[in-house]
Structure 1
């Protein structure tokens, strides 16, 4: 029986696509530029649906991300885990790439696998500047994820209430967040702060009219 033949062109294109993915992940700007110049599609994907831009974002390869976005990379394309370059940059606190995605059509309403916007994990992880950037861009501070939590709730529930999270709570207050949006059990941010002895955050919320 004759063995099926593989088109040489297909092998070469797959190899070139993999080379672009690898170069993006490793931060090899020269190789990325060369491969793009040879016509390798900018939004090729690996087995998990990651594009070169997503791989560059994951490792904060800013120069490579700029090259890819300039070549037309989709900042909103999501992989199998529902991460996009925009969502991942926000969740990782990769500020330069976050700003880059916002300047090139980031979908502020897009959500991750937990049903959360880019703002919610940024609040949880204490990325003060990323939170400020996302709020300024217009991401909804009152979005509720699949767990029933807002950015404010995550900044309290999943933190020690330290200075970075205090700064984030302050930003959310100033952005007009609904301070009384409770979780699925009806517990408000202020009640959670008190339960966790996060006294500074509790005082901030009380002063802003929370109950």
Structure 2
């Protein structure tokens, strides 16, 4: 993040923790403020979850759209090889799935893949033609 002095490791950890909290809660303005001031859009938590993954899983379409507009990777997978689109499908977040598919999410990536998750929940129509 841009400022007069570099953040200490503890401060950096707190900023990342707050960013992930904002993503889980759909606090788009707060999160994008961090990203717009230098926090990488794909900063992972200790489990490898990015803000996009957390926002997608919790159904925050506006936050997902804002992160995608700021370059977040729709295919960034966590340490369990889960993708944002598979998480959104699992949670039944249709609007988020459409955003991720529209952003070019790889439907065959991850474990289980987005395509496999959609088939499991009979939601293949969300994946497009």
Fold shared by both chains (TM-score > 0.5): yes
TM-score (norm 1): 0.54
Give the corresponding residue for 1:81: 80
The one of 117, 125, 128 aligned to 1:132:
125
Runs of 4+ more than 4 Å apart? none
Out of 111, 120, 123, which is 2:119 matched to? 123
- Asked whether the equivalents of residues 122 and 131 of structure 1 are also in contact (C-alpha less than 8 Å), the reply is yes
- Larger relative contact order (Cα-Cα within 8 Å, sequence gap ≥ 6): 2
**CA distance, structure 1, for counterparts of residue 114 and residue 25 of structure 2:** 24
What's 1:154 paired with?
none
Q: State the alpha-carbon separation in 1 of the partners of residues 89 and 43 from structure 2.
A: 22
Matched residues in 1 for 2:85 and 2:118: separation?
Answer: 12
Equivalent residue runs for 1:182-197 within 5 Å: none
Structure 2 distance, partners of 1:29, 1:47, is 21
Deviations along 1:177-204, one digit per CA (max 9) or x if unpaired, are xxxxxxxxxxxxxxxxxxxxxxxxxxxx
For residues 8-31 of structure 1, give each alpha carbon's deviation from its aligned partner in whole angstroms, at most 9, with x where no partner exists.
Answer: 533322221111111011111121
Unaligned runs of 5+ in 1: 1-6, 137-211
Distance 1:133 1:52 in 2: 22
Relative distance call for 1:133 and 1:23 in structure 2 (3 A) is same
Instruction: Give the TM-score normalised by structure 2.
Output: 0.84
Secondary structure of the corresponding residue to residue 77 of structure 1: coil
Could you tell me which runs of 5 or more consecutive residues in structure 2 were left unpaired when the two chains were aligned: 1-5
> Following the alignment from structure 1 to structure 2, what is the Cα–Cα distance between the partners of residues 65 and 109?
20
